[in-house]
Amino acid sequence: MDLTQTAETEGKHMDHTRVPMVEALVDFRRRGDVAYGPPGHRKGRGVDPRLLEVLGKGLFAADVLSLNGLDDRRQSNGILEQAQDLMADAVHAEHAFFSTCGSSLSVKSAMMSVAGPGEELLVSRNAHKSVVSALIIAGIRPVWVHPHADEELHLVHPPEPDDVRRALADHPRAKGMLLITPTDWGTCADIAGVAAVCHDAGVPLIVDEAWGAHLPFHEDLPTWGMDAGADVVVTSVHKMGAAIEQSSVFHLQGDLVDPSVLKAREDLLGTTSSSSLVYLTLDGWRRQMMEQGHELLSAAMSRADRIRRAVEKLEGLSVMGREVVRPQGAFDLDPLVLTIDVRGLGITGYSATEWLRDTCHVDLSAADTCRISARITQGDDDRTEDVLVAALDQLVARSDEIDRAPEVAFPRPGALELETVMRPRDAFFGPAEQVPTEQAVGRIVAEMISPYPPGVPVLVPGERITAEVVEYLRTGKAAGMLIPDSADPEFSTLRVVA
């Protein structure tokens, strides 16, 4: 793939009824090619019939290599390029690149195309752990831009343009900025404002828009990163779109990031065996969105609105609405995300989620101490709408069956803004030791500690551990918080710099 030759799509009328990847699969089947390379399952013929019975033949029949499969050895039909150009055109980008390891990989490629070892990058501190992984792998020095704490809701809202302006003034050598929007709770940042600040300083803005793949396709949704002037935007189509897990796209515009540099960084991290299944579903989703996206998203927004109104009538539950859109709050809110505070029932989001799964077979998107969240997509229908409302109704009616969780010691606003003492890479790879958690206070953490979901690290390697943060994590864990990345699953010890 030569990204430098990717067509500039602006001004062209592209034919969005075409699906180059999907058409190539149909052609491959029509020709009846017999392949002797990977995948070894040979269109499913080699698969254990018991597995086929569960997964279906279609899955394996569509799992065909791009190289010497959907396209020839020289990729002379440019099938992938065509599909990517169509995606770029659909979402108003100059270039779009498909990626098969989720935004976790795309965001690393994007960051490493802007900053390298020892260089500074402004990063919003509510970053997903994949962003922190990129800092560690690349040896980038983070300049944290802190989000705004909402004391009442116990969550944070994205940083504002003035925060970024101040950080850039303090760190004039920073290579760019990484912003996360929408957040896990659907709150959105002022991308255009932050992009303008970055561009005034001559540096690019990367937007981790993992939760925002649907945004380009409806004007009533929050503004999409490419439309707001960001330079690189990363999405996970599997999250809010209708492609399979791990399907991610990164998009590029402007001249602050060189497409060939982005390509080289992606090449460094990516697989040499990209899944065609991922590419095929991205291609098909783009056609669907171009043909029916507006209608599908209008229907999803009406559905979300109906659910929101029904849940608001349930005593003890409170749905986050546009009251959070205010200065020092959110700039916008994705109406498809239903963030429901359960504290009025005297229970935690963790126990509410577990009760809903066990009792109603309803699996939610995320939960924390205070809330649960459900996301509505184009795939929801009248049945899933009714099931959700009925389950929440049951949750309220039977909440006294649910164990009361122990109190969580929430940190004071600002208490999560820890001192960065070392570069994340040096703390992570340097000599380290495991010490009892209470003795870790004052030491420099050498591991990531990310309550999941949402997977935003409370502790990033290189930060100084405080008693308040340890107490928050300890009491949070007792209340049901999961910390899958800590070296000690019990959290009774912490990995610190030796």
Ligand X SMILES: Cc1ncc(COP(=O)(O)O)c(C=O)c1O
Interface with ligand X, residue 270, by CB under 6 A: no
Interface with ligand X, residue 102, by CB under 6 A: yes
With contact defined as beta carbons under 8 Å apart, do 307 and 45 qualify?
A: no
- Whole-angstrom distance, CA of residue 440 vs CA of residue 488: 13
| Main-chain dihedrals φ then ψ at residue 371, nearest 5 degrees | -150, 170
Stretch that binds ligand X, among 103-111, 160-168, 292-300, 478-486 (CB under 6 A): 103-111
State the nearest-atom distance from the C-beta of 109 to ligand X, in Å: 12
Q: Which is nearer to ligand X, 373 or 466 (CB)?
A: 373
Q: Which residue has the tokens 């999961």?
A: 482
Strands (E), 128-215: 141-145, 148-150, 155-157, 177-180, 187-188, 205-208
State the nearest-atom distance from the C-beta of 101 to ligand X, in Å: 7
Q: What angle do CA 372, 376, 380 make, to 5 degrees?
A: 130
Stretch that binds ligand X, among 96-104, 217-225, 316-324, 402-410 (CB under 6 A): 96-104
Interface with ligand X, residue 373, by CB under 6 A: no
Interface with ligand X, residue 104, by CB under 6 A: yes
Stretch that binds ligand X, among 97-105, 224-232, 256-264, 279-287 (CB under 6 A): 97-105
Binding ligand X (rule: CB under 6 A), the pick from 86, 107, 444, 445 is: 107
Q: Where does residue 469 rank: exposed (0-12), middle (13-18), buried (19+ CB within 10 A)?
A: buried
Interface with ligand X, residue 210, by CB under 6 A: yes
- Going by DSSP bridges, is the β-strand pair 205-208/177-180 parallel, antiparallel, or unpaired? parallel
- Whole-angstrom distance, CA of residue 137 vs CA of residue 428: 10
Interface with ligand X, residue 180, by CB under 6 A: yes
Q: Give residue number: closest CB to ligand X.
A: 102
Stretch that binds ligand X, among 10-18, 98-106, 198-206, 284-292 (CB under 6 A): 98-106
Interface with ligand X, residue 208, by CB under 6 A: yes
Q: Which is nearer to ligand X, 208 or 231 (CB)?
A: 208
With contact defined as beta carbons under 8 Å apart, do 181 and 188 qualify?
A: yes
User: Any idea of the CA torsion for 281, 285, 287, 289, to the nearest 10 degrees?
Assistant: 180
Which residue type, as a one-letter code, is found at position 357?
Answer: R
Tokens for 299, please give them.
């229907």
Q: Which is nearer to ligand X, 103 or 351 (CB)?
A: 103
Stretch that binds ligand X, among 100-108, 249-257, 330-338, 374-382 (CB under 6 A): 100-108
Q: Which is nearer to ligand X, 64 or 210 (CB)?
A: 210
Closest alpha carbon to 365 in 206, 182, 208: 182
Binding ligand X (rule: CB under 6 A), the pick from 84, 100, 109, 248 is: 248
Strands (E), 309-460: 318-319, 332-333, 337-341, 366-367, 371-375, 432-436
State the nearest-atom distance from the C-beta of 456 to ligand X, in Å: 8
Stretch that binds ligand X, among 45-53, 102-110, 320-328, 345-353 (CB under 6 A): 102-110
Interface with ligand X, residue 113, by CB under 6 A: no
Interface with ligand X, residue 181, by CB under 6 A: no
State the nearest-atom distance from the C-beta of 201 to ligand X, in Å: 24
- Whole-angstrom distance, CA of residue 113 vs CA of residue 395: 47
Number of residues that bind ligand X (CB under 6 A): 14
Lay out the site mask for ligand X across 434-463 (x = CB under 6 A, - = otherwise): --------------------xx--------
Q: Which is nearer to ligand X, 20 or 147 (CB)?
A: 147
Interface with ligand X, residue 82, by CB under 6 A: no
Lay out the site mask for ligand X across 216-245 (x = CB under 6 A, - = otherwise): --------------------x---------
Q: Which is nearer to ligand X, 239 or 303 (CB)?
A: 239
To the nearest 10 degrees (0 to 180), the angle between helices 79-90 and 276-312 is 20
Stretch that binds ligand X, among 99-107, 108-116, 299-307, 326-334 (CB under 6 A): 99-107
Q: Which residues contact 69 (CB under 8 A, 6 or more apart)?
A: 28, 33, 35, 276
Interface with ligand X, residue 128, by CB under 6 A: yes
- Going by DSSP bridges, is the β-strand pair 248-252/232-236 parallel, antiparallel, or unpaired? antiparallel
Q: Which is nearer to ligand X, 43 or 375 (CB)?
A: 375
Interface with ligand X, residue 470, by CB under 6 A: no
Tokens for 64, please give them.
């065909």
Which residue type, as a one-letter code, is found at position 389?
Answer: V
State the nearest-atom distance from the C-beta of 337 to ligand X, in Å: 12
Interface with ligand X, residue 187, by CB under 6 A: no
- Whole-angstrom distance, CA of residue 431 vs CA of residue 443: 13
- Going by DSSP bridges, is the β-strand pair 371-375/366-367 parallel, antiparallel, or unpaired? antiparallel
Binding ligand X (rule: CB under 6 A), the pick from 9, 130, 187, 276 is: 130
- Whole-angstrom distance, CA of residue 114 vs CA of residue 7: 22
Decide: helix, strand or coil at residue 383. helix
State the nearest-atom distance from the C-beta of 237 to ligand X, in Å: 9
Contacting residues toward ligand X, per CB under 6 A: 102-104, 107, 128, 130, 180, 184, 208, 210, 236, 248, 454-455
